[in-house]
A and B are shown apart, each in its own frame.
Chain A
Amino acid sequence: MTPAGWILMIACWAVIVYWTFWCFRRVLVSKRHWTNPEDDITQLRHGEFGDDPKE
């Protein structure tokens, strides 16, 4: 690999890793996790998700 290849690879990786950690840190420290209090999905089985619209 040429020096230019190393520089490009490391620069791209650094930008993406920094960006990823920034985003996920922002999401994980946020108090807004949106777990919907109206729908307790832990009580549902596969295929159950409330009423369908009437046909």
Chain B
Amino acid sequence: MAKRERWASRIGVILAMAGNAIGLGNFLRFPVQAAQNGGGAFMIPYFVALLIFGIPLAWCEWAMGRLGGTNRHGSSPGVLGMLWKHPAAKYLGALGICLPLGVLIYYLYVESWTLSYSFFSVLWDFMGKTTMADMKSFLTDYQGVETKAGVTVMAYVFFLLTVGANYWIMSGGIAKGIERLARIGMPALLLLAVVLVARVFTLAPPDPAHPENSVVNGLGFVWNPDLASLRSAKVWLAAAGQVFFTLSVGFGSIQCYASYMRRRDDIVVTGLSSSVLNEFVEVILGASIAIPAAYVFFGHAGTVEIAKSGSFNLGFVAMPAIFQQMPGGAVFGLFWFFLLFIAGLTSSVALAQPAIAFLQDELGWSHKRSLRSVWIFLVLAGHVPILGLAAGALDEMDFWAGTIGLALFALIESIVFIWIFGAQRAWDEIHIGAEERIPRVFFYILKYVTPVALLAILIAWGWQQGADVISMKGVDPAQRAWRWAARALLLGMIATTCWLIRRAWSRKQEAGP
């Protein structure tokens, strides 16, 4: 039996895991979520969710992955099948492959916008487009959503370039591909983010008639607490959703990365380090760039509109307009979009790895064959969010794979690991090789609070919105075909993965012990 790949170093695995977690959401989604959900008061449910879902579930995923790796299982079907000796367990693990892959299908397209906008910043293609309306029109022209084809040649070429860059990195494998990217990319990302924060913090109000449009008030826009918002369930759900999204729990990618560790490698301090690095980037750096800069140039009313219009508008419409009004804007524009590109790249390779690990570990395919198969699928499936962008196919995939799917798979992981495998065994498993003991209170949080809270979120969603969302109530009938295509793609992926799981286990049974 050939030797399985391993991470080369501890700092490499921390940076790779942090790279997995740090993505576009840290810089675009978090500040918008905070501003829309009570400002500084949002941080209270955010920290609660971090302590009762985020970090405990991340430790569980690290432990499950490391345990799976010792038996050559790098993906969820094998890991869940090990933890729960029931024929259904491995099929539940199909979600741990399809969710990250489902997100990756559209994520690669969004990542390609960051690459193209990096080039546009250098070439100063935005020149003269200083209003939000101009930049919005620039973005839709670039995407080609109003053209007959539904995409422009330029957007398609950048999509293929992004796909190619990801392929090249993944072809290096774990240590020479993903770990090397993290070792170079993460320090570069931190450096670019610090430079951008320093630039934003030194911005003076551009209009002397409006001295209130200052960076300090921009920070206030994010941090001033609206304590009344804490009474809203929506704010608590938004905080839980942000924590899931930002730490990448419930995706299966942490499990997969952890499977390349050795049995006695510490996961308590290592796991905490990567989660905390993600929080540093999100709460301190992420919240200090886009919204405060928007406040300086567009004032309070303009920033309210930007925050309401969502993350993509903040990143790809408001920010380019701001850079044109800023001294040295071309350079800082390049820094901003390249920062987003690195953040996207370190996440997208993590989203692809569970599928590759599944094909290698369970079907016995070579790395090259697994990689090629996954990439051919990604390019073909990528046409659904690309061509159906205007009809909301990307949003549909994001909702099912990147929101509801995460909570569902996190609940499955939590029940299988804590309740079926056994709470004490799970606790002991987490502590193998640990350099620190986790406070015992987390044992009870993991056993009772995390699964109950996850179940409550899913039931509350099903009760309040489930029927409307499933039946597409209020969705323009013209958009429904593409949205159904997105759903069919995700369901087809799950069905195909279940078939491959069946094939892999039959093959193993035929081969014997």
Contact = CB atoms under 8 A, between A and B. Distances in A.
B269 interface: yes
B217 interface: yes
Interface size class of A (residues with CB under 8 A): 35 or more
Interface in A1-31: 1-2, 4-6, 8-9, 12-13, 16-17, 19-20, 23-24, 26-27, 30
A5 B176 contact: no
Nearest to B172: A46
Interface residues of B, number: 56
B14 A27 contact: yes
A45 B14 CA distance: 22
A20 B216 contact: no
Interface string B444-478: 00000000000000000000000000000000000
Given A33-B11, A34-B9, A55-B364, A16 B280 contact: yes
Contact of B284 (A13, A36, A39, A48): A13
Interface of A: 1-2, 4-6, 8-9, 12-13, 16-17, 19-20, 23-24, 26-27, 30, 32-36, 38-39, 41, 44-55
B121 interface: no
- Interface of chain B: mostly helix, strand, loop or mixed: helix
17 contacts: A1-B219, A1-B220, A6-B223, A8-B43, A9-B219, A9-B223, A12-B40, A17-B284, A24-B273, A32-B266, A33-B10, A34-B265, A35-B9, A44-B175, A46-B172, A48-B176, A52-B2
A26 B360 CA distance: 35
- Interface of chain A: mostly helix, strand, loop or mixed: loop
Given A36-B7, A44-B175, 18 more contacts: A1-B217, A1-B219, A1-B220, A2-B220, A5-B40, A8-B225, A20-B276, A23-B269, A23-B272, A26-B273, A27-B270, A34-B10, A35-B8, A36-B8, A41-B175, A47-B173, A49-B174, A50-B3
Task: With a 10 A CB-CB cut-off, give which of A2, A27, A39, A48 has the most chain B CB atoms.
Answer: A27
Interface string B1-26: 11101111111011000000000000
Contacts of B361: 53
Contacts of A50: 2-3, 5
Contact of B176 (A19, A30, A47): A47
Pairs of residues from A and B, 7 with the lowest C-beta to C-beta distance, nearest first: A1-B220, A8-B40, A49-B173, A5-B224, A51-B2, A23-B273, A52-B366
A45 B369 CA distance: 19
A27 B11 CA distance: 8
B262 interface: yes
A4 B279 CA distance: 21
B40 A4 contact: yes
